[in-house]
Amino acid sequence: MFTNRTHQSIVLSGLVFLLGIFSPSCVDAREYKMLQIKGSDTMVNLGQAWAEEFMVSRNDVSIAVTGGGSGTGIAAILSGTCDIAQSSRDLKGAEEAKAVESGAPIVTTIVGLDGVAVVTHPLNPISNLTITQLSDIFTGKVTNWKEVGGADLPILALSRERNSGTHIFFLEEVLRKGNSKGPEEFSSSALMMPSNQAIVQEVKTSEAGIGYVGIGYLSDELKVIPVGHDSQGPFIVPTVQSVADGQYPISRSLLFLTRGEPQGDVRAFINFVLSAEGQEIVEILDFVPINH
């Protein structure tokens, strides 16, 4: 009998303990608001900086920013597992269809601009390249630097991996020259690098290398190639100024995607991002503010 009671009391106290664990967390969820932001690896540092600054004035809101690629973010916003998706590209056809199917229109807000710079080893004698030449280099049509006016050296083309918004942007804007459904593809001998930094690392050590990175990743160890629409020029160097006024041909918008019109805290956060203070952070992180 005694042991029986003991068993019962153990079970009871266990239940009480479990209740004790679960109940405060429920209360917490109501007091603290969690915003999930997910997506573009290019934008992850930017999102983090905005979130930190925003949370200084709004300590009742907690914002978690994660990367994984634009596609990951878009998949998450479509399945409702995040509040804002950061994306460096627009929705693709299949994603658009999925958004329509789920009944919640995806609202796009432009929060900044980015230029994609073409970089080579500092000793590369090339002075400029056209979009067509870049397309030929990355599709593998041109395989030696001498064919575009350089030294007699095989070209080592470095691309971002396919989970990168930058990869898709470069593919559609440069390789396919703006025709997003064109037949051009990255050459099968082009290396697929996991990050901007990996491309920087490889280009600065290989004289044959050519790659593309966000303008935030430029440094003295790289040669930035001025790019022109055609051989007549003008050939433009990517800078905050040339991206902001739309002169540099390979630039893009950085986007926030939300399910329906943003409301409540999401709205407040987006307003902060678009404010002068928020756009200052864009400039500090070497991206281009929208109203430069």
Task: Kindly give, in sequence order, each residue whose CB lies less than 8 Å from that of residue 216, ignoring residues fewer than 6 positions away.
Answer: 114, 285, 286, 287
In the chain, the amino acid numbered 254 is L
Map residue 173 onto helix, strand or coil: helix
Q: Which is nearer to other proteins, 4 or 25 (CB)?
A: 4
CB of 190 to other proteins, least distance (A): 6
CB of 157 to other proteins, least distance (A): 9
Q: Which is nearer to other proteins, 188 or 232 (CB)?
A: 188
DSSP for residue 204: T
What pairing do the DSSP bridges indicate for beta strands 61-68 and 191-193? unpaired
- Nearest CA to 161 out of 230, 263, 67 is that of 67
Residue with tokens 């573009």: 40
Residue with tokens 């290398």: 209
Binding interface with other proteins (CB under 8 A) = 1, 3-4, 7, 68-72, 75, 79, 92, 94-95, 98, 154, 156, 161-164, 168, 171, 181, 183, 185, 187-194, 202, 205-206, 208-209
Q: Which is nearer to other proteins, 159 or 242 (CB)?
A: 159
Q: Which is nearer to other proteins, 209 or 262 (CB)?
A: 209
CB of 187 to other proteins, least distance (A): 8
- Residue 48's CB is within 10 A of a number of other CB atoms, namely 17
Q: Which is nearer to other proteins, 6 or 219 (CB)?
A: 6
Task: Kindly give, in sequence order, each residue whose CB lies less than 8 Å from that of residue 220, ignoring residues fewer than 6 positions away.
Answer: 122
CB of 263 to other proteins, least distance (A): 26
CB of 64 to other proteins, least distance (A): 17
CB of 282 to other proteins, least distance (A): 24
Joined together, the tokens standing for residue 114 give 């980015």
Q: Which is nearer to other proteins, 75 or 213 (CB)?
A: 75
Q: Which is nearer to other proteins, 162 or 267 (CB)?
A: 162
260 torsion bin: left (phi>0), alpha (psi -120 to 50), beta (else): left
CB of 170 to other proteins, least distance (A): 13
Task: Kindly give, in sequence order, each residue whose CB lies less than 8 Å from that of residue 148, ignoring residues fewer than 6 positions away.
Answer: 126, 129, 133, 136, 137, 142
**Sign of the torsion formed by the C-alpha atoms of 52, 56, 59 and 61:** negative
